[in-house]
Amino acid sequence: MFAVTAARMSPDDPLSALELGDRPEPSPPEGWTAVTVKAASLNHHDVWTLRGVGISADRLPIIVGCDAAGVDEDGNEVVVHAVIGEGGDGDETLDPRRSLLSERYDGTFAEKVAVPRRNLVPKPASLSFEQAACLPTAYLTAYRMLFVKSGLEPGATVLVQGAGGGVATALILLGRAAGYRVWATSRSEAKRARALELGADQVFPAGGRLPERVDAVMETVGQATWAHSLRALRPGGRIVIAGATSGTAPPAELNRVFFLQLSVVGSTMGSRGELARLTRFCEQTGVRPLIDRTLPLALAAEGFGAMIAGDLFGKVVFTV
């Protein structure tokens, strides 16, 4: 079958680690099933894999891609939950042995992907395969950040750093639909304008002065925006952090954290139950994932290139 593979690790030239071509079809073990992939979406995780972050050389080559929507062996339209737990029915993100598709098991950028049966969530008929393929990583991460980890009540003010990203656009759409006042920053004027169109209440240049302090900040940029995030919070406010694209080691400014009694809360992906509730949230509110571009899987390198260049507003989707 045709697939997109991380063949090696290349920290400085991730595109050179990408290989497109024939790979064996999966043979699902007991309790697993094969999904015929209709659409798959790109995440920064896939770029990290090519760079060799979060994966060891002995796992390569591996098919990349965490997210997919497709059809199961019984003909049902499904969304694939990307978090693979290794036991128990609890929150699989807290399982110390858990992995994401494409870390230990082949990922979704292929004609077929093998997944545990329990990882299949019904795809709402009102979402296209392309829209549904955006949900399992970026939208699920945004859902947990906003609705499980932030402690925010509707009407609260939330700042989203780096408005153009897949997670960031999801935060704006979901936060707005839930009745939060959503403010967003971006380095790009064009992306700030698009964030307003998407439903942000106000937008600011990266690091820009805010008219008042916010209740919570949603962080996925990391080092480049961390100092601004700390300064943006009201006393007792909370940063929810799920990523650090620009670097992981900004000054911690511990004096600010304790003196203003700030909380810093980590968040990763979400549970299968949260993914099911996210699909329902989309149905009930009419929110649809924002897609920057849709490409055939054979042109995957073009999508990766745009993400590496930071030249995106929303998700890149590959059709199979």
Ligand X SMILES: NC(=O)c1ccc[n+]([C@@H]2O[C@H](COP(=O)([O-])OP(=O)(O)OC[C@H]3O[C@@H](n4cnc5c(N)ncnc54)[C@H](OP(=O)(O)O)[C@@H]3O)[C@@H](O)[C@H]2O)c1
Pairing label, strands 214-219, 233-241: parallel
Does 243 help bind ligand X (rule: CB under 6 A)?
yes
Q: Which stretch binds ligand X (CB under 6 A): 114-122, 123-131, 165-173, 250-258?
A: 165-173
Is 71 or 244 the residue whose CB approaches ligand X more closely? 244
Q: Single out the residue of 162, 237, 289, 303 in contact with ligand X (rule: CB under 6 A).
A: 162
Q: Single out the residue of 82, 172, 307, 317 in contact with ligand X (rule: CB under 6 A).
A: 307
Q: Single out the residue of 35, 55, 78, 138 in contact with ligand X (rule: CB under 6 A).
A: 138
Does 202 help bind ligand X (rule: CB under 6 A)?
no
Least CB distance from residue 313 to ligand X, whole Å? 7
Does 43 help bind ligand X (rule: CB under 6 A)?
yes
Is 33 or 232 the residue whose CB approaches ligand X more closely? 232
Evaluate the omega torsion of the peptide bond into residue 61 and state whether it is cis, within 30 degrees of 0. Answer: yes
Interatomic CA distance for residues 184 and 191, integer angstroms? 10
Overall residue count recorded for the chain in this entry: 320
Interatomic CA distance for residues 74 and 186, integer angstroms? 44
Q: What's the angle, vertex CA 55, arms to CA 121 and CA 118, rounded to 5?
A: 20
Does 50 help bind ligand X (rule: CB under 6 A)?
no
Is 119 or 245 the residue whose CB approaches ligand X more closely? 245
The closest of 249, 188, 260 to 217, measured between CA atoms, is 260
The closest of 306, 312, 292 to 14, measured between CA atoms, is 306
Q: Which stretch binds ligand X (CB under 6 A): 10-18, 135-143, 197-205, 283-291?
A: 135-143
Does 293 help bind ligand X (rule: CB under 6 A)?
no
> Which residue in the shown chain puts its C-beta closest to ligand X?
243
Does 155 help bind ligand X (rule: CB under 6 A)?
no
User: H helices within the chain, ranges in order?
Assistant: 44-51, 129-132, 140-144, 166-177, 189-198, 226-232, 254-259, 272-285, 300-308
Is 84 or 221 the residue whose CB approaches ligand X more closely? 221
C-beta separation of 63 from 34 below 8 A: no
Q: Which stretch binds ligand X (CB under 6 A): 8-16, 72-80, 157-165, 252-260?
A: 157-165
Does 230 help bind ligand X (rule: CB under 6 A)?
no
Does 156 help bind ligand X (rule: CB under 6 A)?
no
Both tokens of 15, joined, read 């595109």
Pairing label, strands 112-116, 18-22: unpaired
Q: What's the angle, vertex CA 111, arms to CA 108 and CA 113, rounded to 5?
A: 45
Interatomic CA distance for residues 28 and 223, integer angstroms? 40
Q: Single out the residue of 131, 150, 220, 271 in contact with ligand X (rule: CB under 6 A).
A: 220
Both tokens of 283, joined, read 């149905």
Q: Which stretch binds ligand X (CB under 6 A): 21-29, 56-64, 70-78, 137-145?
A: 137-145
Q: Which stretch binds ligand X (CB under 6 A): 15-23, 208-216, 242-250, 273-281?
A: 242-250
- Given CA atoms 49, 55, 59, 60 in this order, what sign does their dihedral have? positive
Is 169 or 279 the residue whose CB approaches ligand X more closely? 169
Is 112 or 277 the residue whose CB approaches ligand X more closely? 277
Question: Contact positions toward ligand X, by CB under 6 A?
Answer: 43-45, 48, 137-138, 141, 162-168, 186-188, 191, 206, 220-221, 224-225, 242-246, 268-269, 307, 310, 312
